[in-house]
Amino acid sequence: MLLALREANALKWKKGQRMDGTQPSLLATTGNCLVTVFERPTRGVSATRFVGLWLSLSACVVAIGFLIDAYLIDQKASWSFLGIFIPQSIGLFGVPLAVLVCTRLLCAWTANFASFIGDGRDDNNESPASRAKEGFRRDLLGIAGNTWMYGCGFFVGTVATLVFYFSGYIGGFALVPGAALLLLITVSGCFAGMGLYAVYVGGRAIWRLGAYPVRVELHPFGILTTGTLLAKCFFIVAIAWSAFTISAVPVGTKANVFQHLFNEPMYLLAWPTASFIILAFIVCQIPLHRQMVSAKRRQILRLSKQISEIEPQEVGKLTQEVMDKMSHLKRELDFAASLPEWPTSMRALLGVVGSSLSTVLVPAFWSGLGGLLADKALAGI
């Protein structure tokens, strides 16, 4: 069923129409890499210039924040204002960069498909690996932007704005600084929501790889690279998301390191995101896990059958040659039985869990450090 749906999507793609309504003209590629939604306004610009552009924009926003702080903010409220404005400004740069890097990693990873997906060729002389690569890249096209991505960005941006406003983060500022904070939180929240949708798109693409048979082999380009790839991507996502969660910590005097872990922005935005990252890492690999179990079962049954076929019924017919063959097959059988059943490792899983928890633990550290610095600054006023 899944393969039939993907073939239907491919047919509509060839006719110039995608099932999500996005036009192919908006989904051009740069070399072997897909164009992300954040690259579309600057299509044709190299990745280095793209990074420089977003870094410059982020620096301009930070500079605006310092100007507002210098001329419109009371000195005692300076830390509170900058504690929200600067991390949110950094997030404006962090999300596009994270989406860009993760997309490049996913596209480069498709080169490994021939190492672990399928065997043989179909009636069209096309290997399962090539079909999987084409389908995988087609599934990633959602990163270029569609209605669902924009809707997710609008939803997260709206929720973030409402949470920060009704939690009292904006009430202590005058009209212009408060409006600047609300505007920045809304825009950066939209970017964060679009980034989370990109995480979903990547996870969905890996989920759909479970429609193809796989080979379980222990080499640097095998199926176990799936977990390593996801760990790298989710680590990058966690770094970008930490910029937003840091702004949820009200920096002030005598800040409690632990009480901020469960304030409104943290349990409405940060904790759900951390949980989403961990669940996405595990759930998207379940179909590949099932294929690995099936491949392992087939290999064990094949070796067991070969052993039973050459094993003589009478002891007198047990020659040295037969014993050597049985010994070799039994070693292969033991090796097959020891093969992993998940396309990841415990190290990668622990890395993802640690990265996810860092999105809520980093703000706790920031609250203690920021509170200490604020105490010293205010002591001199």
Q: Structure pTM?
A: 0.82
pLDDT confidence of residue 368: 56
C-beta separation of 251 from 219 below 8 A: no
C-beta separation of 65 from 89 below 8 A: yes
Minimum mean pLDDT among 68-77, 161-170, 253-262: which range? Answer: 253-262
Higher pLDDT, 183 or 248: 183
Domain ranges within the chain, ordered by starting residue? 25-285+345-379, 286-341
pLDDT confidence of residue 102: 93
Q: Give the Cα separation of 181 and 165 in Å (integer).
A: 10
pLDDT value at 31 more than 50: no
pLDDT value at 289 more than 60: yes
Alpha helix ranges (H) inside the chain: 2-14, 47-72, 78-109, 113-116, 128-139, 147-166, 175-208, 225-246, 264-265, 271-283, 286-310, 320-337, 346-379
pLDDT value at 379 more than 60: no
pLDDT confidence of residue 231: 93
Segment holding 34, helix H or strand E: strand 33-34
pLDDT confidence of residue 226: 93
34-89 pLDDT, tens digit per residue, is 888 998 887 777 778 888 888 888 889 989 989 988 888 776 667 778 888 888 88
Q: Return left, alpha or beta for 115; rule: phi > 0 is left, psi -120 to 50 is alpha, else beta.
A: alpha
Closest CA to 348 of 271, 272, 273, 285: 285
C-beta separation of 92 from 61 below 8 A: yes
Q: Which residues contact 184 (CB under 8 A, 6 or more apart)?
A: 61, 85, 88, 89, 92
98-155 pLDDT, tens digit per residue, is 999 999 999 999 988 988 887 655 545 568 888 899 999 999 999 998 999 999 999 9
Arithmetic mean of pLDDT, 235-239: 90
322-345 pLDDT, tens digit per residue, is 788 888 888 988 898 888 999 998
Q: How many CB atoms lie within 10 A of CB 355?
A: 24
> Tokens 């079909």 map to which residue?
131
Burial class (CB in 10 A: 0-12, 13-18, 19+), 39: buried
176-206 pLDDT, tens digit per residue, is 888 999 999 999 999 999 999 999 999 999 9
pLDDT confidence of residue 375: 53
pLDDT confidence of residue 361: 77
pLDDT value at 212 more than 50: yes
Q: Which residues contact 238 (CB under 8 A, 6 or more apart)?
A: 277, 355, 356, 358, 359
* First-to-last C-alpha distance (Å) of the chain: 69
pLDDT confidence of residue 47: 78
Q: How many CB atoms lie within 10 A of CB 26?
A: 15
Interhelix angle 346-379/78-109, nearest 10 degrees = 160
C-beta separation of 102 from 237 below 8 A: yes
- Average pLDDT of the chain is 80
54, 166, 169 from 185: Cα distances, Å: 17, 13, 11
pLDDT value at 95 more than 60: yes
pLDDT confidence of residue 221: 87
Q: What are the two backbone dihedrals, phi and then psi, of residue 380, each rounded to the nearest 5 degrees? A: -90, 0
Q: Which residues contact 15 (CB under 8 A, 6 or more apart)?
A: none
348-378 pLDDT, tens digit per residue, is 999 999 888 888 777 666 665 555 554 554 4
pLDDT confidence of residue 233: 93
